[in-house]
Structure 1
Amino acid sequence: MSDDRRTPVSVLGLGPMGRALARALLAAGHPVTVWNRTPARADPLVAEGARRGATVAETVRASPLAIVCVIDYAAARQTVEPAVEALRGRALVNLTADTPQRARAMARWTTDHGIDYLDGAIMTPAPTIGGRDALVLYSGPEPVWQAQRRTLATLGGTATWLGPDPGRAAAHDVALLDVFWTAMSGVAHAFALAQAMGVAPADLAPYARGVVGLVPDLVDDVARRITADDHVADVSTVRSAVAGMSHVIETTETLGLDAALLRAAHARALRVVRAGHGDDDFSRLTQAYAADD
């Protein structure tokens, strides 16, 4: 292993993801210094070979690269601001999840203080870190990315730089989480609806997996249609989707369950129909979401 792959790294924040990051770096041979607001969280990592930093500033000074991974950017700023002088001239990689706007604000703050900055979004669960299934997206100045990419590669899987805009990784993150959490809310609602009708979760699950399995090809098709501005339906239409959603909403409310999630989607689709696009493909809804009320 070359020397640059053994660059000392400091890790700030030792929640499940922070611990996973530190362990992956240790496994790759990097000297790792760790800090957490609750010091006891560092104990297992210290037993595995990490060094404990007494303060954020001390932790940062131990390495040319610091990685911060906490609950949000307010916590990230609160963590690193007391160590701003220690960070000056070093690199800070922020793997905290938050909004693109806050990512850009964080980048401006680091630039003002002479800190090299990359923003990042971890797109896979903590157990994947260090393995081939990990996916981490990065954005920020290319020279910073090029200087840190070999070290960051030890976090496993795929590390992709999305460009110099520091908000680009967070933009991907929030859009992809929109897919995930909206879908998972639908899954939870579907099981609640099925149970209210006497259908056991185990009985529904195989068919639910089949429905979910239709989505990947539809994602590609919607992306193609949006890019080409081609919403001519060749299978089903927004009008038919409105009818299908209406049946689910009626059944849900008849059973006394909350239909707010699907009602919101139904209202947006109905708006497209009333605008004269009912015979278009479902991809037409992307324009409805972008339009002003």
Structure 2
Amino acid sequence: MPANDRTPVTVIGLGAMGTALAEAFVGAGHPTTVWNRSAEKAVPLVAKGARHAGTVEEAVAAGPLVIACLTTYDATREALEPASATLAGRALVTLNTGTPEGARRMAGWAEARGARFLDGAVKNVPTAVGAPGTLLYYGGDKSVFDTYERTLRVLGGDTVHLGDEPDLAALYEQAVGGLLLPALLGFFQGAALVTARGLTAGTLVRYTVKWLEMIASELPAIAEEIDSGDYTRPRATVGIFHQGIANVPQLGREAGIDVSWHLPMHALLERAVADGHRDHSISALVETLRKPE
């Protein structure tokens, strides 16, 4: 974009992700103002061309687009409260973790102060910010997204507006993010198994990646089963997974590792079998999840 078309941006919060966001904007030539409670975190960014605001009010006043990257919605409101009067007429984009309900409350808070609100999520690590394939999705005021899409795309080439509801990014963040820890725990268990035999965790990587690719290839069919409610043509049944329960304690004893993290999943399989899903596709577990104990 032409030099005179680079929107001034303010970044509030300079943790690892906030710093990466600010670096991307500076690198793309946007006039970038930064603020953090611990002012020393701004020093490396100032050396790269950012401007450090002494107060959050000064930071918010510096431009039309304010991006807050703090830990939670509560932390965001607390940090921005002194600048409440300055938010009117500006676009506020939040990139933090939280629940859909938290996003709705954040939207109400912002709108009560005259700000136009957009909530988002960065679906990658800080070092990936700015890469063409990095995914960010947003929910909320479409006019904000339309106005600043080119600026927001600086943060990642795969930039998506999910819809006008302000909680959609938080909804998808929770829905997609739920995969991360179980997947990592599976790898950690594998690493504990092979390292107990004197092998390295690195030997697992190639085979784990192939396994994850297989799982990814199955997701469209699994999603279709869930959307249709038809679980009667299974590739893998609930019963197959249920039969594997007995192997886990034995594996734990043999390898001398803690496998107790499996217990809630085993309980879910037991309930699914009791619900009559033994011969149904494993995707039928979603029906059991819809009926919490």
**What is the TM-score with the length of structure 2 in the denominator?**
0.94
Determine the C-alpha separation between the residues in 2 that align with 1:191 and 1:143. Answer: 47
Other-structure match for 1:287: 287
Other-structure match for 2:25: 25
Aligned residues of 2:34 and 2:42 also touching (Cα < 8 A): yes
1:188-216 CA-partner distances (Å, limit 9, x unpaired):
12222343456543444443333223210
* Letter of the 2:84 counterpart: V
Determine the C-alpha separation between the residues in 2 that align with 1:54 and 1:86. Answer: 15
Q: Tell me by how many angstroms 1:60 deviates.
A: 0.7
Other-structure match for 2:84: 84
Aligned residues of 2:118 and 2:145 also touching (Cα < 8 A): yes
Secondary structure, in 3 states, of the residue corresponding to 1:83?
helix
Structure 1's 176 and 58: CA in aligned 2 closer, same or farther, altered over 3 A?
same
1:50-69 CA-partner distances (Å, limit 9, x unpaired):
11100000011111111010
Identity over aligned pairs, percent: 37
Aligned residues of 1:4 and 1:150 also touching (Cα < 8 A): no
Secondary structure, in 3 states, of the residue corresponding to 1:154?
helix
Equivalent residues in 2 for 1:1-293, closer than 5 Å: 1-2=1-2, 5-196=5-196, 200-253=200-253, 255-293=255-293
Q: Tell me by how many angstroms 1:107 deviates.
A: 0.1
In structure 2, stretches of 5+ residues that fail to align are: none
Determine the C-alpha separation between the residues in 2 that align with 1:240 and 1:13. Answer: 48
Q: Tell me by how many angstroms 1:253 deviates.
A: 4.3
1:141-198 CA-partner distances (Å, limit 9, x unpaired):
2222222222212223111000011110011111111112211111112222343456
1:240-273 CA-partner distances (Å, limit 9, x unpaired):
1111232123321455432222121111112111
Secondary structure, in 3 states, of the residue corresponding to 1:81?
helix
Structure 1's 81 and 259: CA in aligned 2 closer, same or farther, altered over 3 A?
same
Aligned residues of 1:60 and 1:87 also touching (Cα < 8 A): yes
Determine the C-alpha separation between the residues in 2 that align with 1:204 and 1:21. Answer: 33
Secondary structure, in 3 states, of the residue corresponding to 1:214?
helix
* Letter of the 2:141 counterpart: P
Aligned residues of 1:10 and 1:60 also touching (Cα < 8 A): yes
1:82-133 CA-partner distances (Å, limit 9, x unpaired):
1101111111110112211111100011111111110001101111212202
Mean CA deviation greater in 247-256 or 134-143: 247-256
Determine the C-alpha separation between the residues in 1 that align with 2:243 and 2:199. Answer: 23
State the Cα RMSD in Å: 1.8
Determine the C-alpha separation between the residues in 2 that align with 1:5 and 1:100. Answer: 34
* Letter of the 1:165 counterpart: E
Structure 1's 263 and 4: CA in aligned 2 closer, same or farther, altered over 3 A?
farther
Secondary structure, in 3 states, of the residue corresponding to 2:84?
helix
Secondary structure, in 3 states, of the residue corresponding to 1:162?
strand
Mean CA deviation greater in 58-67 or 125-134: 125-134
**What is the TM-score with the length of structure 1 in the denominator?**
0.94
How many residues in Structure 1 have an aligned counterpart in Structure 2? 293
Mean CA deviation greater in 164-173 or 137-146: 137-146
Determine the C-alpha separation between the residues in 2 that align with 1:109 and 1:179. Answer: 30
Determine the C-alpha separation between the residues in 2 that align with 1:245 and 1:133. Answer: 38
Q: Tell me by how many angstroms 1:3 deviates.
A: 6.4
* Letter of the 2:62 counterpart: A
Determine the C-alpha separation between the residues in 1 that align with 2:269 and 2:3. Answer: 57
* Letter of the 2:218 counterpart: L
